[in-house]
Amino acid sequence: MTRYRDRLPQLSGDFFLTDAGMETDLIFNHGINIREFAAHTLLPEVAGREAMARYFRHFLSLALETQAGFILDSQTWKAHMHWAEDLGATEDELRHSNQNSVEFIAGLRDEFEKNTKPIVLNGLIGPRGDAYAPEVEIAAQEAEEYHAKQIGWLAGTDIDMVTALTFTQSDEAIGVVRAANKVGLPIAVSFTVETDGNLPTQQPLNEAIDAVDKATGAGAAYFMVNCAHPDHFSNVLENAEWARRIRGIRCNASRKSHAELDQSETLDDGDPIEFGDQYRAIKAKMPWLNIFGGCCGSDLRHVTQIARTLVG
């Protein structure tokens, strides 16, 4: 049964971690092929499932060591109908993948009952299209109708919340928030930005957050920024009302642009020590931030450095 759906513990302001760039870590550091970059395709395979379990166990152990809460993500970022043809999957198979993924992370949470801080089961929802280069702009009503299907699948599981991760446009975010609100699922929205700190649509981050809040009655539990290097957006952050809606960051290890990363055949994992220092600088600017993890190119080393830098 769901544990935190009615009261998300990270809203208390306590320190929480997430994992890092699971797909890039497994592909480049462990030699595991992930079909179409869709991690849920590993779940039916014994080797793939165990590789993901090992991956998450390291992060859950880090949370235990640092006395941090943990946001434990499902592998459902691409488990929705936009990718059905590429994956050769039916609607029923994608529905089952969402349910299977939540069962998988619920089992991991049970393994770590010794963690004294909360472990929140989080259903990942990816954008309808390429998160690096969105093909079309999606109207809010269209987005609501589209994302309602996957959100409905997740609402019937033990998931505590959902996160719209690596979203590229505010109208799509409006739609997904409305869909989650209708079924009573708490939702966070995590935007990605380009090297200039703006969304791929060129909408400034502050305007995107304000647009979503205005259109949904502040229906998102909170906002995040992910899939961008700290250098790409730290200059647009400020002590302002819109910025206080941001609770967490999950940055790329690389300074490369999305276009450069899309063409890269090698992993740019940056410098974990510098990465931790950059998180500390952002935290100093925005002391209300309390959720920290990584995205593309980052791994356990980076999140460990973040935790030790911020916790001391």
Type of residue found at 21 = G
Instruction: Give the per-residue pLDDT at 258.
Output: 83
Cα separation, 70 vs 67, whole angstroms = 10
Type of residue found at 100 = N
For tokens 């967490």, what's the residue? 248
Instruction: Give the per-residue pLDDT at 133.
Output: 72
Supply the pTM of this predicted model.
0.96
Instruction: Give the per-residue pLDDT at 312.
Output: 66
CA-to-CA separations, 91 to 34, 96, 125, 297, in angstroms, rounded: 20, 9, 16, 31
Cα separation, 31 vs 252, whole angstroms = 20
Please determine, looking at this structure, whether the domain spanning 9-311 carries the CATH number 3.40.640.10.
no
Per-residue pLDDT of the chain (312 residues; tens, 9 = 90+): 799 999 999 999 999 999 999 999 999 999 999 999 999 999 999 999 999 999 999 999 999 999 999 999 999 999 999 999 999 999 999 999 999 999 999 999 999 999 999 999 999 999 998 877 777 889 999 999 999 999 999 999 999 999 999 999 999 999 999 999 999 999 999 999 999 999 999 999 999 999 999 999 999 999 999 999 999 999 999 999 999 999 999 999 999 888 888 777 788 899 999 999 999 999 999 999 999 999 999 999 999 999 999 986
Q: Where are the domains of the chain?
A: 9-311
Instruction: Give the per-residue pLDDT at 215.
Output: 98
Phi-psi bin for 202: left (phi > 0), alpha (psi -120 to 50), beta?
Answer: left
CA dihedral for 24, 26, 32, 35, sign (positive or negative): negative
Structure token digits, residue 14? 């306590």
Q: 242, 211 in Cβ contact below 8 A?
A: no
Structure token digits, residue 8? 């998300």
Q: 169, 138 in Cβ contact below 8 A?
A: yes
Between vectors from CA 95 to CA 26 and to CA 73, what angle results, nearest 5°? 40
Instruction: Give the per-residue pLDDT at 261.
Output: 85
CA dihedral for 149, 152, 158, 160, sign (positive or negative): positive
